[in-house]
Structure 1
């Protein structure tokens, strides 16, 4: 994998804007920029200090393309560990393309997806888990996912893994040393201390593996299906949660004929609400397709909100309870929140009756907003955010999760081997495999295919 050339890409979002930033990285970044940049004060970029900004013009021969600010970051004090130049120009798409094409003609190459961060990793500025956190940070769309990505980018997760790996590596070295002196029957590694270390590593791995359940929903959002009969107020509830008229609301049953999805952040956690077509027997072909999709969305959702019309409880209460039991029986492990809507239109005596027959119901008036806050609190209680509040390491990356599971399996083998007194050579094999899995997370163990898969998911310019 070569990185001798100089790469260039647009670092800001594509399209027109007030300002655009074009980034270069490589051994010739400053030299090429110096040829094409004319300082208003006559400065030579090649002689300027690192972390300085210079005003001037990008010139194509005698033609001025734009007035720009050029920022210099000399190696190794830069994001990539190489010489980096950032050109802040006006945000016209024409100007952006003219500058990039000019630099391409003078020796630069268009950067591949994630190549700036890849170079940062290859130059030791970031380990692999920190590099992956850069992509997560860019993609974060709520407070919780942003917090986790920042912690990982600062090395919180990789630091914990690196410490475990170092301690295990020290003991592995002693075990290997014993193998070199096998004929003399000597023991360099204290088995009691080693058992304590294995217990500690196993405990930490278990905690990290368990955190993935929380981390995954924080990173990807929690899908919540809003289900119930037609015209019970599902779309009104969705609008109340989103605080906008996202779904069409009318008194005509079956208005929602397809699922409507939107995402909001509650307490820093992303929730994706799915307003489904009403569940009922119908001869309408289009509506029946929507009802089929409703059950598909319930399958995909992690939380189900069952909504019924409080004003119809006297007449259809038994039917509501039958539908409720069907959902409970079909999805026994799925969190279910039962809501009586249109509560502003019923008497207190009926409210008491509903609460007696369905103790877990929550009261709501989606139209007035009454009960929306208790509902959002109930949703948050379903998520274990304790680790997030305590600033503990939370795993969100599937690749890391897979490596941790494999490392945990190997440590269980090591633990069993210590308990049964197996030979040091067999013990060393399991230790080496655990170390390999740790190395995959931080980048101590890599190959071109792994790096290609990881950085291909980055945006161009980062």
Structure 2
């Protein structure tokens, strides 16, 4: 396998920049661009050692710095690795990388170092994805989940499920291969009982995806209501500054205004929409149609009502639009302007909160309600949360295979159910990388930055 190099620190000026070299020739290449002050060659330097010296190229010495050596297999990639730390100037960093390339290294591809760690068995695929999560984390919860999963928390859970299924498969195939010996460890009823327990465990794990997606990618959230209920004021209140124009003139908001914010531990892709009403204004009507479409596309609807006034026909149209879009279960009704007094009775949806954008009432209640809606209270272990869509898809296929095995046991022999058990094992293997295709693996690592 080729030896590769890349800048592992962000582009720009800084105190220190790091160029990482990994592969069989890593130490030899580092020796061609670095001269230790001690005079001892890098070949004679032990692993896990940092050495001070000078960096040079064909034109001579251009910087002082440190080289840290990690020899296989005790390195991040599982290969010989040299990390070259120079001063963090743009020119000197590029100059050092070019020197390493001239000395025989190839440019690393996006995510290649972590991909090599996976290929060399240092980490599982879910651990590799967690490394990306650490880099991309936008809140403390996502960071905590990614850190635990990078240490193998999710991998351990998947392995336990896979091992349980493998035991059942082994029992089935022992009977197939040696029918006269009756080597089955478990009978049909016990196998069914164990499969039901595995199915329930997989289901519980799959249900964490809704929360995992909310802390990582964010919830597509839309604020809707008739004009002058304070929708834009709600947006500004949640964001923390005046993002949308607020006036007493009905129809001020004519297009969708979107910001990404954090409420509690959850990320929201939050959109304020034009007030829904009948309008002869062509431009406003376009905005109103966008509002109706936004309700259908949303994962969470914040329906804002003026709680200080009785509901009118426009308010009822908002409720009807939510019903027509099938969004009752993911709607929170916000009785805004509560500082002016409340006259609105209970609304026909189960979740509603008292709110005031003007004086800051209701934010904590909103965060708590959204957390409950997206399964925050159902998460028992932060390390065992399904964050990515790929993981969720593999897990749901495993769940379907286990259900098929249970159905097979009702009408067929154990060997027929065994084929479904094997399918479930393969799906779990894909989740963690044991049976993932090369195309899937390559797709995952293309989303990493170069240098990681």
Same fold (TM over 0.5): yes
1:370 paired to 2:361 = yes
> Is 2:141 the partner of 1:144?
yes
Alignment of 1:114-153 (within 5 A): 114-153=111-150
Output the CA distance in 2 between the equivalents of 1:389 and 1:164. Answer: 17
- Cα distance in 2 between the residues matched to 1:203 and 1:377: 27
* Contact persistence 1:355–1:361 (CA under 8 A): no
Residue number in structure 2 paired with 1:159: 156
Q: 1:277–1:290: 8 Å Cα contact kept in structure 2?
A: yes
More off after superposition, 237-246 vs 57-66: 57-66
1:449 and 2:445 are equivalent in the alignment: no
Distance in 1 (alpha carbons) for counterparts of 2:222 and 2:449: 32
CA–CA distance in structure 1, aligned partners of residues 247 and 90 of structure 2 = 44
Counterpart position of 1:338: 333
Note the alpha carbon deviations across 1:360-412, whole angstroms, 9 max, x for none: 76443312323333333333332221243544622122222222222222222
CA distance in 2, matches of 1:386, 1:53: 46
Question: For residues 89-238 of structure 1, what are the structure 2 equivalents within 5 Å?
Answer: 89-182=86-179, 184=180, 186-191=182-187, 192-238=189-235
Query: Aligned in 2, Cα 1:96/1:415: closer, same or farther, shift over 3 Å?
Result: same
Deviation at 1:423, TM superposition (A): 5.7
Q: CA deviation at 1:185?
A: 5.8
Secondary structure at the residue paired with 1:354?
coil
Tell me the C-alpha RMSD between the 2 structures. 2.5
8 Å CA contact 1:6–1:29 kept in 2: the answer is yes
Q: Are 2:383 and 1:388 equivalent residues in the alignment?
A: no
Number of paired residues?
A: 449
State which of 291, 312, 315 in structure 2 corresponds to 1:318.
312
The corresponding residue for 2:276 is: 279
Runs of 4+ in structure 1 over 6 Å off: 356-360
Are 1:308 and 1:320, in contact at CA under 8 Å, matched by a contact in 2? no
In structure 2, how many angstroms separate the alpha carbons of the residues matched to 1:340 and 1:446? 49
How far 1:124 moved relative to its partner? 0.9
What 5-or-longer segments of structure 2 have no aligned partner? none
Distance 1:278 1:17, change over 3 A: farther
Given that residues 225 and 301 in structure 1 are in contact (C-alpha distance below 8 angstroms), is that contact kept between their aligned partners in structure 2? yes
The range that moved more, 210-219 or 80-89, is 210-219
Q: How far did 1:79 drift?
A: 0.6
Question: TM-score scaled by structure 2?
Answer: 0.90
Paired with 2:196 and 2:298, the residues of 1 have a C-alpha distance of 36
Unaligned 5+ segments in structure 1 are none
Partner of 1:306: 303
Corresponding residue number in structure 1 for 2:413: 422
Query: 2:79 is paired with a residue of what secondary structure?
Result: coil
Question: Are the aligned partners of 1:172 and 1:428 in contact in 2 as well (CA < 8 Å)?
Answer: yes
2:336 and 2:404 map into 1 onto residues whose CA distance is 54
Q: Distance in 1 between matches of 2:299 and 2:258?
A: 14
Shift of 1:43: 3.6
Does the CA-based 8 Å contact 2:225-2:318 persist in structure 1?
A: no
TM-score normalized with structure 1 length: 0.89
Measured at CA, do residues 319 and 439 of structure 1 come closer, stay the same or move farther in structure 2, by a change above 3 Å?
A: same
1:5 corresponds to 2:2? yes
1:116 CA displacement: 0.7
Distance 1:430 1:339, change over 3 A: closer
Q: CA deviation at 1:21?
A: 1.9
Alpha carbons of structure 1 residues 232 and 17: separation in structure 2 relative to 1, 3 Å: farther
